[in-house]
Structure 1
Amino acid sequence: MPGSLPSSGRFWDKPIEALTRDEWEALCDGCGKCCLHKLEDEDTGDVHHTNVACRLLDLSTGRCSDYRHRKAMVPDCLRLTPRLVRDVPWLPATCAYRLRADGQPLPAWHYLECGDREEVRRAGHSVIGKAISEVLAGPLEEHIVPEDFASGVRR
């Protein structure tokens, strides 16, 4: 997660392949949806979304509590890259990485557009108040949610 914004103007409008690492990291809107567990049906390959968050997700901020060391603490945590983002089918439709990879603009509620990191929550696109930690959840199968929960549709 970015500490401070890069100072290269509206960098988020550039093609993702042209972004620096800091610019790429700054695209994250902090919704927390990518940190929710998913279940894949072994027979069909269908992905089922849950409201269960990785133990590192701070449910009050929607941000990783140890972003720098997350791979050491959660080995299966996926590090999104400009190349990989096009191959991850479960990213929500509102994900800035996905939007920019598809050449789409960021939504008006994205902090890079509006200047307010809390707008993602106010616009209904954050997991804040909607997720439970894996530490408390129990069986993931009991926490499957409708696809619109994870896809970016406002609830």
Structure 2
Amino acid sequence: MTLNSLPFWKSKTLEQLSHDEWESLCDGCGKCCLLKLEDEDTGEIAYTKLHCKLFDASTCRCSNYENRKEKVPECVTLTPAKIPDLKWMPVTCAYRLVSEGKDLPEWHHLVCGDRGAIHKAGKSVLGKTVCEDTVFEGTEFDWIVNWEDMEF
């Protein structure tokens, strides 16, 4: 197999991807849209089952992706330079995998051709979260969960 016959995620670095290639890497797991709490003393990240107010729980996608930074200023815009430093990114995240020189899993839509395969494989948060706006402020710690089966 020659370099030219390899899929783009195997033949390019994240920095070399076109805008469309970059966007297509997202597997739609929704894990990056979960509310995460960081321990100020240890830096440990606790994951919750609360999702961002813009997250569409029925599709595992942002409901206002183009304007998300205006609506949710703390939303992290992913860039190739940021990926290695974002320790909270799931180990299954395609951006992280490509950054680390690893291959995409068989359920990734770019590998299998099915955008729903991630949900069928149980690798997304589809149907497993609650909107952060539906819970009482200050109760975020009550929503901490162990996402071991989610492979963070």
TM-score by length of 2: 0.90
Residue 91 of structure 1 contacts residue 151 of structure 1 at CA under 8 Å; is this kept in 2? no
Alpha-carbon offset, residue 144 of structure 1:
0.4
Question: Deviations 1:43-83 (Å, cap 9, x if unpaired)?
Answer: 21111010100000000110000000000000000001011
Question: Deviations 1:74-121 (Å, cap 9, x if unpaired)?
Answer: 000000101100100000000000000000000000000011100010
Name the count of aligned residue pairs.
145
Counterpart of 2:126, as a letter, is I
Alpha-carbon offset, residue 135 of structure 1:
1.4
Residue 49 of structure 2 contacts residue 128 of structure 2 at CA under 8 Å; is this kept in 1? yes
Bigger CA radius of gyration: 2
Query: Any stretches of 5+ residues in structure 2 without a counterpart?
Result: none
Tell me, in whole angstroms, the C-alpha distance in 2 between the residues paired with 1:148 and 1:133.
21
Residue 124 of structure 2 contacts residue 150 of structure 2 at CA under 8 Å; is this kept in 1? no
Match of 2:8 among 11, 18, 40: 11
TM-score by length of 1: 0.88
* Percent of pairs with identical residues: 51
Match of 1:129 among 127, 130, 150: 127
Counterpart of 2:76, as a letter, is L
Q: Alpha carbon RMSD of aligned pairs, Å?
A: 1.5
Residue 48 of structure 1 contacts residue 147 of structure 1 at CA under 8 Å; is this kept in 2? no
Equivalent position of 1:151 in the other structure: 151
Equivalent position of 1:4 in the other structure: none
